[in-house]
Structures are given as structure tokens and as C-alpha cells.
Amino acid sequence: MGIGNPGPEYAKTRHNVGFRVLDALAKRLNVSKQEARFRGVYAAAQIGDLKVGLLKPLTYVNLSGQAVSEAVKKLNLQPEQILVVLDDAQLPLGKLRMRPKGSSGGHKGLQSIIDALQTEEIPRLRVGIGSPPEGVDMVTFVLSPFEDDEELVIGEAVERAADAAIVWATEGINAAMQKFNK
């Protein structure tokens, strides 16, 4: 599950890194069909023999929990069976951090998911987007696009995050944390 905002005006913003990772996964997994489902855009995919689902909520970041809780209920999943991919302004640009559980760290989209599922025991993969420059508020920063020199770094981070998600799905969270939390 990737956190982001729907619409072309948000596509290249910092807040949409989660969507970009899901797009990279969909491309790698040769996803050919996406459908409107669970208050979002959903695609079923295969990683070897493993069936996975890719969900991009269309509820906007702060209401991501609505889509995720609907998918969890209808697909009969446990919270530890989902991976939330999100941006993190407290991590340096391009750094990845995977954790099996924890607080939202102030991310309203993750907090919405925690509230909806009533647990902090939700695996998450944070992708560093850097911190706002002095004088720029957080909302303005996360809704802004990456600068040209940052785009190369974030592009590489998106690909590594897609790798991390595949390792999480196939080898487990401990293997993914060992390989990608550097």
C-alpha cells in the first residue's frame, strides 16, 4: 500500500513517493490491469508463486486509513500482512527505513491507517524526502515537487524501495531491514 494524493497535480510531489514505489512495483511485476476498488486503485500481482495486492488510496493522504481498512476487511488480512510505503521528511533524501511497527512519527497518512486498524503493528517502509528548508512550512514542502538535482536521488530510492518491498514479501521483514536499513 502506497501513501499519496490522487490527481496529476500531485504526481511528482514529495508526498507521493509511496505511489511512485507502487508504480515501480507494478511495472516490475508486469501488472496489466488495475481496478477501482477499496476506495483506491488496486492491482493484483504475482511475485513468483506469491499473490500480492498493490493499493493506491484515492482518499488523499490524511484519510488513507479508510481505503486500507476496507481492503484489510474485504481481503481478510491481518495488519502485519500489509506494507505501508510512505514519504518521510525526517529522513535524509533517498534514505530508506523499514520497521515492523511503531508510531506515525507525525505522518498524517500513517496515523490515519493506525487509527483505522487500531494498531501500530503495521509494517512500514519510509522513503526519505529530506527536510523543508528554513522558512518553508511542512505542508508546502511535502506538496512541492523535487528539485531537478533531487530527482535522480529519489528515482534511485524509489527503485531500492521497490526492491525492499519484494524482499519483505518474499523473505520477511527482518531480511528486508538487514538489506535496506543502511
Active site residues: 15
First vs last Cα of the chain: how many Å apart?
22
